[in-house]
Amino acid sequence: MATIVDVNRVVTTNLSVTGVSTFVDVDTSTINGINYPNAGPLSNRNLIINGDMRIDQRNAGASVSGTTVYPVDRFRADEVTDGVTSCQQVSDAPADFSYSLKVTTTTADASLGADQYCRTRHRIEGYQIADFGWGTADAKSVTLSFWVKSSLTGTFGGALSNSAANRNYGIEYAISSANTWEYKTITIPGDTSGTWLTTNGIGIRLDFGLGVGTDYSVATAGSWTSTSNALTTTTAGLVSVIGTLNATWQITGVQLEVGSVATPFEHRSYGDELARCQRYYENGSYYIRYGISNSSITAACYTPAYFIVQKRDVPTVTGTNDQGTFDTISITTTAMAVGRSNTVAININSGTFQANAEL
């Protein structure tokens, strides 16, 4: 006799067993044609914020170019070469995703100087990796997974590094078919050496190299090293996206989680993901009524403006004021006093602000 229990009822039935029986509960999920064994509905697995590239507070999907730009929230594109790239949130993505980050080479640089580089970077706050135990004998392994697509094929490189950039782990992945979404997973052993911040500073840098000079191509693939400022591995012949005119590289579904097995991408609600992004960058607005009617204001006027989410650190704030010069005082991680520093004969004004507390 066996009793089978679920959350709704208790059922008693007969169960006949001959010999030795083994009962295995196999929970599997198939997503994009990939089978994930023992994949459960665990939350807060993914240390990457905006890994599905949904949030783009700065540009609303417009393309951006420059030495340092954020084409989507939390993902920074750096281009320090004699070439030019255009970066943009696009709607081309694999199944179960709506967006990807796309980098396109608009001016090629096929001969990089030693100190030149093109990369896409994501920085993880130290508070988020406190349970990794990195820098100790109890360091945990982590697994990086992502979807990638490029007009080029071959071996691409990248690296993980600490805040001081003196502990580095080189990663490599191959793209075998041009212009085709491919899924990649890389398991990284925990680093038992070095200093890894567990504060509101940089815990981990994750870099995808898209063309890197020799000064930054110093990480050994598949092992931890103490070399400095590694953005990619030293493997000869790594693909350089910046080196080919009109070359493209796209990424989405980026996940970093504790353990040696990649689980399905953790799809969080839009509101949850936006709030996580707003810890580092927020587009805001304000409206001020001074309570003085039909009279000139003869001094600078300010009012409290509260951030939607507490910032990682005291942010740098810029903005607009429709009645005068935008000005802020007493900025903290939760609020600021905002107004105008000039005097205008009007008792209402409004504007927008951008609060930046990126790592």
Question: For 68-276, which CATH class?
Answer: mainly beta
Angle, vertex CA 282, rays to CA 281 and CA 287, nearest 5: 155
DSSP 8-class letter at 131 = G
Phi/psi region, residue 298 (left: phi>0; alpha: psi -120 to 50; beta: rest), is alpha
pTM value is 0.87
CA distance 63 to 161: 28
Choice among 39-53, 197-211, 288-302 with the minimum mean pLDDT: 288-302
Q: What percent of the chain is helix, strand and coil (3-state, nearest 5)?
A: 5, 40, 55
Confidence of residue 342 (pLDDT cuts 50, 70, 90): low
Q: Where are the domains of the chain?
A: 2-37, 68-276, 282-356
Say whether pLDDT at 316 is over 80: yes
CATH of domain 282-356: 2.60.40
Question: Per residue in 13-39, pLDDT tens?
Answer: 444 545 544 433 444 455 566 555 444
Q: What pLDDT sits at residue 236? A: 78
